[in-house]
A = this chain, B = another copy of it.
Amino acid sequence: MDWSFESIVQHAAAEGVYDLGPGYLDPQLIPVPDIKAAFDEALSRYGAAALAYGHNQGALPFRAAVADRLADGDGTDYTPSHLLATGGTSQALDLLAAAVAEPGQAVVVESLTYDLALQIFRDRGLVVYAVERDSEGMLPSAVDQAAARARQERRGIAFVYLVPTFHNPTGSEMSQPRRTALLESAARHQMLVVEDDAYADLPLTPRTRQPSLAGLADFRGVVRLGTFSKSLAPGLRLGWLAAGPRLCRELAGRGLFTSGGCPSHLAALAVGLLLESGFYEDHLRWLHSELKCRRDALTDTLHNLLPGEWHLRPADGGLFSWVDIPAGVSEFDAVAAAEQGGVLTSPGERFGSDAEPGVRLSYAYNSPERLAAAAASLADAWRPLSAG
């Protein structure tokens, strides 16, 4: 039987619309033949072991390859025992919300943050404390304020969740001094920090890479999350959690993992081979140039055409650009006008707040040509709003 693309995937762009919504790669950017070869090789090389229940923390070849790569990037001593293979970031967040938090506890997040993290936390009965951020991300003083609020409400704090590198939705990046200050604040209040590094493999501008919070803290009080969904293929549903070996063992000891190991056992073995062979680094270099080309198509056009009061924030990596909306224009009006102009965008409100009124534009899901055209449509759609 023939099945349409739509019958299989979560979301497909509507005909005749520029869809700047999806926070993941255009199917055109997924290296299908290479991933196919990797699954094939994993099944040939590991045979029945690739189809048996995997190790609770994840198959060793995968954890060893990820540990080597992270150690290279971070200058920290990652070993396989620092890693837990996960079914992507969302499964890791669900696990943390269940394992290190209790219903009714608070989770401290940036005033704009990954929308589905918010949903996962709320699904688990956690109370979201959205705190102040600036162009570098969460303010250290906001951690102090959250601690004060928690005392007042007699509520425990489960953890602090943030996206320090190429932030979703704004694209912002936290400097090293800010990272250090934030870690100091969190340590002072004995708050666990959950560092979502989903976009860390996607820098688009050559420059010194920021060390991870986990690396700076040597894992003390920090859990770091990574994924191959944003850099390789969403449908792998594969990521990792890096933390101190004791916490990794403890998480892997929950029934969900002792019942058969990582939910993405075979995918982990396949990706382990792509890491080991050097394919992943080559792929990232190619992907960076593809994404840069897309980002430039979108942002160059916006820079040229955007009405004066609208402000495009720089995006040095990740998948998103953020446009600040002028005072007097609502997010709702901006998104509605864009849609009238044939462009789908995501309002800040979707990410938990309208503290910084604006819209997120993904440049990962469309070709450069379409992005340039979408940008021109956006400028046309928004010009009358400013004039009004």
Which residue on B lies nearest to A7, using beta carbons?
A: B60
Assess whether B32 is in contact with A123, with CB atoms less than 8 Å apart. Answer: no
A175-222 at interface with B (beta carbon < 8 Å): none
A152 within 8 A of B: no
A387 within 8 A of B: no
A51-103 at interface with B (beta carbon < 8 Å): 51-56, 59-61, 87-91, 93-94, 98-99, 102-103
Residues of B within 8 A of A234 (CB): 51-53, 260
Distance in angstroms between the alpha carbons of A54 and B98 in the assembled complex: 24
A255 within 8 A of B: yes
Copy tally for this chain in the complex stands at 2
A96-112 at interface with B (beta carbon < 8 Å): 98-99, 102-103
Residues of B within 8 A of A118 (CB): 255
Residues of B within 8 A of A9 (CB): 49, 52-55, 59
Whether A8 touches B88, Cβ cut-off 8 Å, given contacts A43-B39, A50-B235, A116-B258, is no
Assess whether A30 is in contact with B51, with CB atoms less than 8 Å apart. Answer: yes
A309 within 8 A of B: no
Whether A255 touches B5, Cβ cut-off 8 Å, given contacts A43-B39, A260-B229, A263-B237, is no
Assess whether A8 is in contact with B54, with CB atoms less than 8 Å apart. Answer: yes
Interface of A is mostly: helix
Distance in angstroms between the alpha carbons of A43 and B233 in the assembled complex: 12
Distance in angstroms between the alpha carbons of A24 and B93 in the assembled complex: 29
Assess whether A259 is in contact with B36, with CB atoms less than 8 Å apart. Answer: no
Distance in angstroms between the alpha carbons of A327 and B79 in the assembled complex: 50
Distance in angstroms between the alpha carbons of A5 and B46 in the assembled complex: 8
Whether A51 touches B236, Cβ cut-off 8 Å, given contacts A7-B60, A36-B44, A61-B7, is yes
- Looking at the complex, which one of B35, B51, B53, B262 makes contact with A51 (CB distance below 8 Å)? B35
Whether A123 touches B255, Cβ cut-off 8 Å, given contacts A54-B10, A234-B260, A265-B237, is yes
Beyond the given A7-B59, A123-B255, could you list 13 further A-B residue pairs with CB under 8 A, ordered by the A residue number? A3-B60, A5-B49, A8-B49, A10-B261, A27-B47, A32-B50, A39-B266, A90-B260, A93-B255, A117-B255, A237-B264, A237-B265, A263-B264
